[in-house]
Amino acid sequence: MPHREPVVEDLAVLLLLGGQSRRMGTPKHLLQHPLTQEPLYRYHLSTLLRLSAEGTFPRGVWVSARQDQLDTVDLPEVGCFSLASLPKHPLIIPDIQSVNTVLDDRETHGDIGPAAGILQAAATQPDATWLVLAVDLPFLSGDSISHLLANHAPASPVSLYLHSDDGNPEPLFSVWTPLALDQLRQNCQAGKSGPCRAAKDVWGGKIVEGKGGVKVPTEAWITDADTPEEWAEAQKRLHGIEPAGTTDASTSTATHCTGFAKVAYTATAFHDAVSLVRSLPVKRKRRAPSTTSTGQFGRGRPFDAEGSEPSGAGGYTSQADIHALLPHPLEDNSAMDGYAVAASAIAHASPAAPVLLPVLGRIVAGDAPPVCSDAASTGCWEIMTGAVFPSPGFDSVVKVEDASRTESLDARRRHMIAFSAPIHPGKNRRRRGEQFESGDVLLRVDEEVTPEAVMLLAAGGVQHGLPGREVQAHRSSRRGRVAILATGKEVVSLSDREQSLAPGQVVDCITPFLDTFLRSRDYEPVHLPPCGDSLADLSSALSTALATESFDLILTVAGVSLGSADHTPEALASIGLTQQFHGVAIRPGGPVMLSLHEATGTPVLSLPGNPIASAVCMRAFGEEVLRRLEDDEEDGREPEEWRPLDMKGANEQDGGWSAWLDRQKAGVSTFAAVPVGARGTPVAPNGVLGSTCGGPCALRSLIGAGAWVRADGARDGTPCRAYWRRF
């Protein structure tokens, strides 16, 4: 395990088992964690010992418990310290490999709540700084701890997470230096035992962000489970699965399995997300009106793929059939963040008898496919969305939220993953060329080169006539400027590409789509230098973009889902943006995220990396943000609205639509790209919508398409309503 310099020097961690668990009715520390079925205190200790092995807690891992609690726990302890037994100047050398205990001895201190445990632990090492944690935080994780430590300023006497609803500090997820502990001790002697009070007193005022307060990126991190109802809710969210029969997608939650994802997200209902956009306090950046309106997007101009028209093809019509030069996908890759397995290895897995497989390694999108000597039946690979499969024998991917990482290690000290259900061979594996093969026709003669067509052509490697980064700088426009930040080390732009792509690389087809789309709306797209997978680079690129204060909107692409390289939510939180939503009940595009930089009123829309998902989210939310920015503009332009789908008028053999609408999930809004028929209305193409490739990443559904349909799956059993609009 890599050993790092500690983020906070002389740090010890204290897990408080304390409390009477009266409202829960059963000891909270013994509740069974749903992911590993261990008691909660052991689950948390595994996390703390893992961090400790990495060097985070040079002063050891400590548990504070009453004697009756100690009798119920099984700790690899070196010594149990009670305050009464401590010499005046104790010289205690904690064991940093195992767990030290300190007796919460209320006889000596009187019943002063958690302050007793904290002060007793502090007395064992008066010069240490203490990370204090309550055991009843079900979402406690390495990430939530690292985030607090990273935001604890060295000069700060105490740091506490702030609740996002009322701004109050959370006393039992906090960092205490000797100075603050002195204050707590003095306060207790004066009869004031509340840790929040001591934190305020040592700061000489309210705890706010920057003055002892640290904004929590995800409220769940500091939500405790105090009652059976709260614990049931936490269990549900930790599983990421609604109990059978009660699925309500508008409140479903994706969570992470230890060490994998960055931030858990909860899906907001589609219409609620749109309402949030419509009330967003955005600030349009004023600038002198430009005389060089782009004017690129007149309909009906001819486009020749062989020509060298560099200034963007959007709005032209094709003069000949245009064929793909590359297949899509370029290689077999993963559709999900999870574990690549041989389906046969977990064929007999069940919740009662899960199959445990060691992690053989990790593959991130952009990595060359690893050469693996282990047999597929003996292990699994951590694999991220878009990453190329290891070979041979690994045929499917179990989503990270459907597996559990245990703290058990195999003989070679590799972590064991528990699989509790079988998987169909081929599940979540995208096959090379399954969307289109090179040579397939992507655009027919006389078809319009819409932004979506530009996405398709770019994915197919058709370079000429597409907007490239090099033609950007000269444009300006009347309506505003929008920054585009593509992320992911696997993504390369067409203009960067020479003849071939390295294994694991993909062509950026989203930036050209966004570019064409924005120019069609008379916005100036500004391509920021693409960012790899590093959190630091991403945070710095975003801070720089915000500091220029010249963008009306910032669009980020990819990195919003559950993979270990998905850093966008964390980067935005780390530079102080306020999250408006992360996760919407839509398909595709579920992981989409919207944030606001309040100081400048700049919205940041984070589009998911799957190309079709990003197109849907730009149409569904990006367009709404632009409209919000234009609220004050009176130019008589009619916004293009979603129109109700008239199924009879739309399609004479209406069977396709009914079958599709019947399949829609309650509470979810589903989008699909469809052709526009001779009557000028959308056609339900059974072949595409019904196929196995009709899912979220069905880039080929853009071939021949000219409109989006949206079906809002109703929740009360009534038929779902459908709407449509042209590209």
Ligand X SMILES: Nc1nc2c(c(=O)[nH]1)N[C@H]1C(S)=C(S)[C@@H](COP(=O)(O)OP(=O)(O)OC[C@H]3O[C@@H](n4cnc5c(N)ncnc54)[C@H](O)[C@@H]3O)O[C@H]1N2
Cis status of the peptide bond prior to 329, with omega within 30 of 0: yes
Identify which of residues 480 and 608 has a Cβ nearer to ligand MOO in the complex.
Answer: 608
Per CB under 6 A, the list member of 135, 162, 697, 722 interacting with ligand MOO is: 697
Dihedral sign (CA 486, 491, 494, 497): positive
Q: Where does this chain touch ligand MOO (CB under 6 A) — which range of 456-464, 529-537, 581-589, 678-686?
A: 581-589
Identify which of residues 183 and 250 has a Cβ nearer to ligand MOO in the complex.
Answer: 250
Per CB under 6 A, the list member of 49, 133, 207, 365 interacting with ligand X is: 365
Per CB under 6 A, the list member of 29, 44, 236, 399 interacting with ligand X is: 399
Q: Can residue 268 be called a binding residue for ligand MOO (CB under 6 A)? A: no
Q: Where does this chain touch ligand X (CB under 6 A) — which range of 101-109, 179-187, 609-617, 621-629?
A: 609-617
Q: How far is the CB of 399 from ligand X (least distance, A)?
A: 4
Q: Can residue 399 be called a binding residue for ligand MOO (CB under 6 A)? A: no
Cβ atoms of 280 and 628 closer than 8 Å: yes
In the complex, residue closest to ligand MOO by CB: 696
Say how many Å lie between the first and final Cα of the chain, rounded. Answer: 51
Q: Can residue 610 be called a binding residue for ligand MOO (CB under 6 A)? A: yes
Q: Can residue 590 be called a binding residue for ligand MOO (CB under 6 A)? A: yes
Residues 574-593 that bind ligand X (CB under 6 A): 588, 590-591
Q: Can residue 557 be called a binding residue for ligand MOO (CB under 6 A)? A: no
Q: Can residue 588 be called a binding residue for ligand MOO (CB under 6 A)? A: yes
Neighbour tally for 557: CB within 10 Å: 27
Q: Which of 332, 331, 314 has the alpha carbon at shortest distance from 457? A: 314
Show the site string, 681-700: x = touches ligand X by CB under 6 A, - = not: ---------------x----
Q: How far is the CB of 448 from ligand MOO (least distance, A)?
A: 24
Looking at residue 614, its amino acid is: S
Per CB under 6 A, the list member of 162, 560, 673, 689 interacting with ligand X is: 560
Instruction: Measure CA 635 to chain center.
Output: 38
Dihedral sign (CA 175, 180, 186, 192): negative
Q: Which of 162, 197, 161, 199 has the alpha carbon at shortest distance from 180? A: 199
**Strand residues in 385-519 grouped as ranges (E):** 396-399, 403-409, 415-419, 429-430, 441-443, 481-486, 491-492, 506-507
Instruction: Measure CA 222 to chain center.
Output: 18
Residue 631: both structure tokens together? 């609220």
Show the site string, 430-469: x = touches ligand X by CB under 6 A, - = not: ----------------------------------------
| Size of site (CB under 6 A) for ligand MOO | 9
- Kind of pairing between the strands at 77-81 and 61-65: unpaired
Q: What is the C-alpha to C-alpha distance for residues 13 and 34, in angstroms, rounded to an integer?
A: 24
8-state DSSP, 558: S
Contacts of 207 (CB under 8 A, 6+ apart): 160, 162, 169, 196, 199, 200, 213
Show the site string, 217-256: x = touches ligand X by CB under 6 A, - = not: -------------------------------------x--
Q: Where does this chain touch ligand MOO (CB under 6 A) — which range of 163-171, 374-382, 457-465, 608-616?
A: 608-616
Cα Rg of the chain, angstroms: 28
DSSP letters along 471-500, please?
A: G-TT---SS-EEEEEEB-TTEE-TTT--S-
Q: What angle do CA 575, 580, 582 make, to 5 degrees?
A: 90
Show the site string, 299-338: x = touches ligand X by CB under 6 A, - = not: -------------------------------------xxx
Per CB under 6 A, the list member of 366, 608, 667, 682 interacting with ligand MOO is: 608
Per CB under 6 A, the list member of 365, 423, 510, 613 interacting with ligand MOO is: 613
Token pair 């398709």 is at which residue?
A: 456
Q: Where does this chain touch ligand X (CB under 6 A) — which range of 94-102, 213-221, 374-382, 488-496?
A: 488-496
DSSP letters along 143-161, please?
A: HHHHHHHHT--TT-SEEEE
- Interface contacts to ligand X, rule CB under 6 A: 254, 336-338, 365, 384-386, 399-401, 486, 488, 490-491, 506, 508-511, 557-563, 566, 588, 590-591, 608-611, 613, 696
- Interface contacts to ligand MOO, rule CB under 6 A: 587-590, 608, 610, 613, 696-697
